[in-house]
Structure formats: C-alpha cells, structure tokens
Structure 1
Amino acid sequence: MIMRTKITVFTAAALALTLSACNSAESLPDEPYEASPYHLYPAPENAYVGDTMPYVTDDNELELYYLYDTDHNGQGYHPVWKYSTKNLYEYQDHGMVLNFGLMSDPDPAIGTGSVLKDQEGLYHLFYTGHNDTGNGGKGKECVMHAVSTDRENWTKLPEDTFFSEDNYSKDDFRDPEVFWSEEDGCYWMLIAARENTLGGVVAKYTSADLKNWEFQGPIYSPRQQYMLECPDLFKIGNKYYLTYSWDCVTYYAVSDSMNGPFTAPEDNVLDGSGFIFYAAKTAELNGTRYLCGWLGRAGLTEDSGIYQWAGNVLNHQLVQKEDGTLGVKAPDTFSEYFTADKPFKAVKKLGNAKVKNNTVTVTATDKEYAIADMGTRPVSLMLECDVRMSADSRVGFAFGGSQNDPVYTALCLDASRNLLHYEGYELEDLARFDPAVYTRFDFDKSENHHVTLVCENEIVILYIDDTKAFSSRIRHSTNGAHICLFAESGNAEFSNITVKVPGQ
C-alpha cells in the first residue's frame, strides 16, 4: 500500500486546478466559520473517550461509561468517567465515577467492562484490572467487581477478583460483558480471552449470584484474531449477534441461538478500518439498538487517515437487513437536532458540472474532473441526497476551494474499488495512490444509492443505504472550506439534495 498525506506545496495539477477555479465565471463567496462545542460526538476537555460501556436506565436514559484517556497517562490510567443522554445529541458529563487503583492493586490501569442492575436493584460494574507487574504471577489482567446504589458512587469488591483459566493467557483476559439470561435462568459473563491453541476467543462464564463464576468454555473461536476485544451479545428479531473488536476494527457474527454457533458474514465490518470506529458495544434505547464506540483521535499529522486509540463518542443506529445481516445509519434522533433548512445552492466550479434545482450532475473526462461548489461548509450539518453513479466511477464530496485554501481533498465513493475512503488525498491523486483507510461497500449491487453526511467540526460521518458508515476527521473541511460534489472518474447525479443545520 502506498501512503501519501496532503501536501502544502502546489503540484502542477493543483496549480492548474487553482487557476481554472479562479477563472471560473461562477463562484460562491466564502462565509464566516466558527467551531462549536461537540453536541453529537462529545469528548472531555483536553482528554479523550476510550472504550465505552453503555447502560440504559429504567427511565430510558443512555449512560456511556468510558475509559478516560489523555496524552500524558501516568503509571495509573484509564479511570471510568460517564456521559448520559436521552437523545444522542444532548449529553450530561458526570465526570469520574471509578478511579484506578494503586500499583500494589490489580487495577492501576482499568480496562473495559459492563454495567447492569441485579434482580434486587443493586448496580454492578464489572471491569478489567490491568497491572504490568503480573500480580505475583497470576497474570497482568483480571476481572474485577464494583457495586453501587446510585451509579455515581461505586465500591470495589476486591474479594470477587478472578484470573484466567489454565490453558489461557494470563495477560490477555479482559472486557467482561455481564447480563441476565432468561433462557438459562442465570447471569452470563462474556470475556475476551486467548486460548493457547485456539487464539482469540469469547469465553463464557455463568453465575447465580454475580460473585461465584463457573467457566463454560469458548462461545466463539474464529481462529483468526489474536484477541476478540469488547464482546457484546444481543438479539434483534430472531437472530443473535456478537460484536467484537481487533485489528483496529469492530466486527460482528450472527447465530440463530445465543449459544451459537456464530458465523461471521462475508462482510462483517460496519464502519472503517484503522481506529476509525472501535471497541463498540450496543444498547437498546426506546426500542432502537445503537452501536456505541469511539472515533479515534488524529495521528501525528491531520487528514492522513492515521488515527490513534481513543477520541470522541460515536454512536450508529443499527439496522437489521432481510437476510439477517446488519447495517448502520445515522441515529433517527438527529432529525430533532437538525431542524433548520439551509437553502440549497450550488454552482459549476470546474469541468462538466450542471446544476438544476436540487440536482447536480458531474461528469469527468480524460483531461478534467468536474466540481460543483455548494459554498462554505456549515460547522454542523446533515446533508441527504440520492446518488446515481456510473460503473467504476470515483465520485463524492470534495472539501476546499476557499480563498485561503483552493486545494480540494476527496471523500470518495469509489466504485472502481468498491470502497468508501478518505485519507487527505487531493483529487488528482485518487487514481494514483491506494486508499489508506476505508470501508468496503459493494457498488455493483446497484447504481442508485441514498447518502447521508453528518458533520460536526472536523468530524465527518458518511452513511450509505442504511448499510455502511465511513467515519473521518477531515480538518480540511473546516475553517471556511467549501463543500463540493465531484467526479474524478465516470459520472454521477446527486439528486433530492437537502441540507439541514441545528435549529436556534
């Protein structure tokens, strides 16, 4: 794979594009731009959201417990903090609810877990204790237990701590997911573990009292990944789904029974690669199931397609397809947030671009790509449109074209590779360089697609056909950059375009 980040020096092709754009008869003026607080994708001030542990309260509020991460973690790190929301666009920050332990404890670092309420009304937080000293030979990782009566003040129960089984890694034993099983009449605990011959597995334990746990063996062992982190098991309709994460990606498998066997669909990734969307677990709020994870923070360079562990909250709404596979879309509650219509306007900027009412047609030629300019990108928006694309085309959304920065970078619907991708490439580079981070999407099934684009500050989430998401941080779309429609290869018609911004 050839990787290239956005450069600041003009290439000859970029200079030609700039001159052509400046000489265009039609141009939309730059508008003021001011960043806003994160409403849809929160993160703590000067810190980051790590793995989330979603819990839904009796009064239908989603609580997102998460691992609090910084750029300067010490010997002890990842205390548990919490957000709560009723609608996924208004969040309350509860701050820290569980601190890490001392270096002499099993949990100077805390790892992922889960929250539940028992049948007597007591709340339980099961989580990972991590200590690089190895806990006197017992292993670096263990399952730990805390209880609470109000979900704000938690008391650790160190006597309930336990380590991995024989024939399992002592250092890779984490992410307990605990829930009540009506079918079995007991509590289940799923753990990310590593069996010495099977590799990464999801191990199952059962308990009658949430204190004494009996090992039941692996419930899923695909023999592919080193670990299957942050497992979660849930049911939609008559299917059971198991989500897990590794390789900087969240995956899923499906079964007709909660006991398995679980089978991974041919394409079992719902968002992008490379810490774009990771460690996702699910929660059902008001009858809708959401996939709750995080979008990684930017790497050493922005708009490079390189992300680091932990960043901002990111929630997708799950969709069950007729064949039993899963898809994702923007949360329906976002329509309550984006209530103001922004009048649609677009002009031809370059090449063969035509605008008629709320329809834009762009057609690339061998010598020139096509761009239609929709003006300065609002700091927060939800854009929807229908897209009809030619086979093997490369089309999508371009950002740039302002007086301060005339270069365009491309968020690409790439039918030539069956990918959605963004890595800061300029338009002329799309054909020359391999995608660095991406989501697979089969454009061969249809030439017609419905696309939703959600933007907040530099975070840009693209949804297509209630099937896939591709999440990005596109700094080049902010600070007055214009949002455009483009065709670099082939042609596309973007129709029924609507743009909404938050209401006042």
Structure 2
Amino acid sequence: MKKLISIFIALLSLFFGMSVTSAFYQLTIFPRTGYSWVGDPMPYYDGNKFQVFYLEDLRDGDVGFHPWSLFTTNNFYDYKNEGVVIRYSQNEFAQDSALGTGSVMQEKDGLYHAFYTGFNWRKVPKEAIMHAISKDLINWIKIPGDKFFASAKYLRNDFRDPYVFYNDDYKEYWMLITTRTKNDKGVIALYTSKDLKNWADNGVFFDNDMGNSANMECPTLIKYGEYWYLTFSDQWPNRVVHYRIAKDSKGPFTKPQLDFFDSNGFYAGKLVKDSQNLYLCGWTPTKGGHSDNNKTDWAGNLVVHQIKQRENGELYPTPVEQVVENLNNNIKLKPITQTETVTASNEKYTFSAKGYEVVTFPKIQGVNKITGKITKKSKEGMFGFMFNVGEYDIASLNIAFNPKSKEVKFFNVSTDKIATAKSELTVPLDVNDNESLNFTLLIDDSVAVLYINDKVALSTRMYALQNHQWGIFSINSDVTYEDLNLSKF
C-alpha cells in the first residue's frame, strides 16, 4: 500500500506539475520523493527520530527554488516524507526567492529554530542568513527582522550555510558560516549569540588548510566521545566531505591521515548523532537526462553513512547498522555464466589470473545488500564488480580494485577497457598482501554504495543498474570471492 501511495502521488506530480506536500511513506535506503531530488541535507535528532531537512530540487522552472522539505525516520530505511516545510518567496525580488542550506536546533524553552541561507541572484549581496521558528518542526514562521549579512571582512556574495548549536563549554550559541575573506580565500566564520537574534562576528573560525582557496560548504561541528569533529565539503576541486579533529570546540584542529569518507559521488555531508551513534547525511548526484554517459547534476538521492570512531579519534564510514540488520531475507545466488578457469564451491569463486574471467548473476531488482570477502594473492591485475552485463559477459559499469595503485575506482566504460581508461570516481585503499577485503554493497534505485574493510565508502550513480545482470570479474588477478550473499528486506 505504501508503494502504491508513493506511485500515485508521483504520477499526480508528473501529469499536473504539482508541488506535492502530502506526507507518505517509503521503504528505501536512498530516498527521494519520486517527483524531485534531494539537495543538501540538514539532519536533526529530536530525541525520538531523525528529522532530515533538505533542499528540495523540484526542477520545475519556478521563479524561486529549493524549498526546505523534510524526511523523518527512526532507522534510515523507513522514511516518512513530510513534503515542503519552509517555502521560498514567490516575490522574485525577495531575499529568500531561493533557500539555501542551514540547520535546525531546539532552544531550552522547547521552541525550534531554523537558520538558513536566503539567496537571490538579482540582489547585492546575494546571500543572507535568515531565521524561522516552529513548535512542531512542520509549521514554520519566518522572522524577517532577524536577517543579517556578512560583516565587512567577508565577501558579501559568499555568506551561507549557517550551522547553529548551543556550545555548553562556552555558554553561548555558535553559528558557523561558509564565507570568503577579502583576499578571496574560503574560510569558516564564527558568529556567537546569547539570544539567537543578535549575532556577533568572532572572526575566522577555520582557515582553508587544503592548499587551495576553495569554499568549505555545509560545515558541522559536533562532539562525539572525547573529540570535536569539524566537517565541510570542498566546493572545488575534489568535492568531497572532509573532517578535522580537536579536543576543544575552538581547536586547534588536526587533519587525519585520510581526511575524507567517500568519493565525490557523495557531497554536502553533515553530521548528526543520537544518544549513541554518529551519522553523516549527504547526497549522491543524478546525471543529465538520467543517462550514465552524461555529466552529474546538483542534487540526487539521500545517502547516509554510519560513522564510527577509532581509539585515536579518527573516523571511518560503515553501512547503517539498522539497515544491514533488516536486509536479512537471503536470496541464493545462482550463476548464469562462469568462465571455465574459475573454480566454484558453494559461495566461493577462485579466479586463476588467466586473462579476463567473470561470473555473472541474475538481474538486480529493488533494494539489495551484497556482502562477502575478497582475498588476493598478489598486487597484479584488477578485479571487482560489474553491472549492466551484456554481450560477451562485458559490462558497461564497473567498480574495480587496483592493488598496485592502492585504489578502488568506478568506471563508466566497458570492463575490457578499464585497464587503460580514466575512472569517474576514486577512493584510496591500501591493503597488505593476503589481507582480506570484507565488503558490503548496498543498492537502491540507481544508487550503489560500497563499503570496504571499515576504511572507505564509494557512492555511485548507475542508471543501467536495475533490471540488468551483474557479476564479479578478474583481469589477470589471482583473487578469491567467498561468503558471497545477496539479501533483501
């Protein structure tokens, strides 16, 4: 029934151009509405469930764009879509003719506060920090008088993405803002307040330390265990979510050896925690014309990583525990084709390193969890997963491990060409000889996210993923796949 309701509302939107705001439910791990796409998430935990506000990309050609919309969930696989909760102005000259990223918090008296970016490309300055209040997180009242612009030390057209929280260590409200200094360098500014209405500029909170001048978008600052974590997304050149570590909320912040969680298939990630766990909510982009061969767009599907902590304070991404626990309906994998040089026994497949070898499986459909273990004997060759398998057991979409370059790569080219082709997405992965690679691959809609060895994640968009055969492959690599398992809800 839930699925039928979702389809019905999506069809209404398609045929009548409606901006649908009626609540409906989805059983999904990478949600979007069906008639729009998810931009920058702004997650908030209310003590009971996660309220994932986001910039809704309707792509409807209206005078304004990107209202704040809302998903709620207790588990990151069963979502309620509350629709639009904060609208942009229909006045083309209003400061908030488009809404930008911000954050939500609750004051001690129970009132909820949303701070967001008001954007209008027709105005100078283009960006301002704006304020709205609510008693229930659904119905919001804008407070136009609380709007403010960048102080003189910052570039006024780059002043956005307010992240607000009460800093109990310093007994004041903090607001981190993405901006640029007069020498045109991206920084994160700190504003402080005692009343959530009057904000004082406390100068640069964090200087760009990436060796470039890029903006550091969508910052979050959160304490987890003994450490404070600052996250941000570099607007260029890499477009990945970075993090820094400190013992005090004011820093100094240190850069970990691996300072990001995923490739640029995952952007604008913001941290949120409940009483025990830490999560990172971002989005995986669509592509123009819904074609694998086109460039990426802005916005896509919501993707959530669970974030875990090592003893030294460093973080790493894993699949959300509640998601993997509930994808527990095992489906027996029966190969369709198998290269003669591959040895098979139960769910174990051993490749001989003699050229191009494959094992293919039936069509991918719906929400899937694929798990297993890969063991390699040498650094030679490449191996991985293939999707949209076609003629001659060659696929057009491939996730490949390259032990020699110490990387995992996504290729939007046929499997027989990946040895010399340029990859579309890349994450580093350094493993010792004979070390096993334990993996979880989550698939929903046209999104697939691969988690490897409690080290990295790789989020990808593949339009030809669903309803096509998939497989595992090796190119001159003596590698073994075992405990291969596929499961669904």
Q: Verify same fold: TM over 0.5.
A: yes
Q: CA deviation at 1:129?
A: 0.6
Matched, 1:259 2:246: no
> What is the aligned partner in structure 2 of residue 160 from structure 1?
146
Correspondence for 1:57 among 34, 46, 50: 46
1:428 and 1:307 map into 2 onto residues whose CA distance is 24
Q: In structure 1, give the amino acid aligned to 2:200.
A: E
Look up the SS of the partner of 1:443 in the other structure.
Answer: coil
Task: Summarize the alignment of residues 433-452 of structure 1 with structure 2, pairs less than 5 Å apart.
Answer: 433-444=421-432, 447-452=435-440
Q: Which structure would you say has the larger RCO, counting Cα contacts within 8 Å and 6 or more residues apart? A: 1
2:432 and 2:207 map into 1 onto residues whose CA distance is 32
Structure 1 residues 385 and 345 mapped into 2: Cα distance closer, same or farther (>3 Å)?
A: same
Structure 1 residues 100 and 111 mapped into 2: Cα distance closer, same or farther (>3 Å)?
A: same
2:27 and 2:404 map into 1 onto residues whose CA distance is 35
> What is the aligned partner in structure 2 of residue 493 from structure 1?
480
Q: In structure 1, give the amino acid aligned to 2:255.
A: A
Q: In structure 1, give the amino acid aligned to 2:104.
A: V
Q: In structure 1, give the amino acid aligned to 2:252.
A: P
> What is the aligned partner in structure 2 of residue 129 from structure 1?
118
1:45 and 1:434 map into 2 onto residues whose CA distance is 32
Contact 1:351/1:364, CA 8 A, preserved across alignment: no
> What is the aligned partner in structure 1 of residue 182 from structure 2?
196
2:340 and 2:333 map into 1 onto residues whose CA distance is 21
Look up the SS of the partner of 1:159 in the other structure.
Answer: helix
> What is the aligned partner in structure 2 of residue 270 from structure 1?
261
1:299 and 1:322 map into 2 onto residues whose CA distance is 43
Correspondence for 2:284 among 273, 283, 295: 295
Task: Summarize the alignment of residues 314-463 of structure 1 with structure 2, pairs less than 5 Å apart.
Answer: 314-346=303-335, 349-350=338-339, 352-365=341-354, 368-389=355-376, 390-401=378-389, 407=395, 409-444=397-432, 447-463=435-451
Of 467-476 and 414-423, deviating more is 414-423
Which deviations, in whole Å up to 9, do the C-alpha atoms of 1:273-295 show, x marking residues without a partner? 2xx11111111135111100111
Q: CA deviation at 1:63?
A: 0.7
Task: Summarize the alignment of residues 10-159 of structure 1 with structure 2, pairs less than 5 Å apart.
Answer: 39-58=28-47, 60-101=48-89, 102-134=91-123, 137=124, 139-159=125-145
User: TM-score under structure 2 normalisation?
Assistant: 0.89
Contact 2:347/2:482, CA 8 A, preserved across alignment: yes
Contact 1:398/1:410, CA 8 A, preserved across alignment: yes
Contact 2:36/2:58, CA 8 A, preserved across alignment: yes
Q: Which runs of 5+ in 1 are unaligned?
A: 1-36
Q: In structure 2, give the amino acid aligned to 1:437.
A: L
Q: CA deviation at 1:414?
A: 2.0
Look up the SS of the partner of 2:187 in the other structure.
Answer: strand
Correspondence for 2:156 among 161, 170, 173: 170
Look up the SS of the partner of 1:317 in the other structure.
Answer: strand
1:325 and 1:48 map into 2 onto residues whose CA distance is 32
Q: CA deviation at 1:256?
A: 2.0
Of 464-473 and 194-203, deviating more is 194-203
Q: CA deviation at 1:306?
A: 3.6
1:315 and 1:459 map into 2 onto residues whose CA distance is 12
Look up the SS of the partner of 1:334 in the other structure.
Answer: helix
> What is the aligned partner in structure 2 of residue 187 from structure 1?
173
Contact 2:193/2:200, CA 8 A, preserved across alignment: yes
Q: In structure 2, give the amino acid aligned to 1:258.
A: S
Q: In structure 2, give the amino acid aligned to 1:391.
A: K
Q: In structure 1, give the amino acid aligned to 2:247.
A: D
Structure 1 residues 154 and 497 mapped into 2: Cα distance closer, same or farther (>3 Å)?
A: same
Of all paired residues, the percent bearing the same amino acid is 31
Look up the SS of the partner of 1:376 in the other structure.
Answer: coil
Look up the SS of the partner of 2:416 in the other structure.
Answer: helix
Q: In structure 1, give the amino acid aligned to 2:233.
A: S
> What is the aligned partner in structure 1 of residue 10 from structure 2?
none
Of 459-468 and 261-270, deviating more is 261-270
Task: Summarize the alignment of residues 208-247 of structure 1 with structure 2, pairs less than 5 Å apart.
Answer: 208-223=194-209, 224-246=212-234, 247=236
What is the CA RMSD across the aligned residues, in angstroms? 2.1
